[in-house]
């Protein structure tokens, strides 16, 4: 089952040497093992939305999706797969 967090939960992220997230704190906390990364750019005609998404394993057992809002440099947890 997939849970979309609406609104997405704000989190604090610790980045590793390569720039990938390695630890988060906030609504969910723990170590992060990144699996995939992609970038989304949309709505350029009204207000640009640019996000860097990460699919990651939280605490070695919970698959989740987080993103960084590139314009504000804020991080959010958006989806949890359980």
Q: Which residue has the tokens 């720039």?
A: 19
Contact of 13 with 24, CB cutoff 8 Å = yes
Q: What angle do CA 43, 63, 11 make, to 5 degrees?
A: 60
Q: How many Cα atoms occupy the beta-carbon half-sphere of 3 within 13 Å?
A: 11
pTM metric for this prediction: 0.90
Tokens representing residue 16 in the block: 């590793």
Contact status, residue 54 vs residue 70, Cβ threshold 8 Å? no
Q: Report pLDDT digits (tens) over 32-65.
A: 999 999 999 998 778 888 999 999 999 999 999 9
Grade residue 27 by pLDDT with cuts at 50, 70 and 90.
confident
């Amino acid at each position: 089952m997939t849970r979309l967090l609406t609104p997405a939960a704000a989190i604090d992220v610790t980045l590793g040497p390569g720039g990938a997230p390695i630890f988060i704190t906030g609504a969910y906390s723990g170590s992060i093992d990144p699996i995939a990364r992609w970038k989304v750019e949309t709505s350029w005609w009204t207000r640009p939305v640019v996000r860097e998404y990460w699919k990651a394993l939280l605490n070695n057992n919970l698959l989740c999706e987080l993103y960084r809002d590139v314009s504000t440099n804020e991080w959010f947890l958006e989806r949890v797969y359980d």
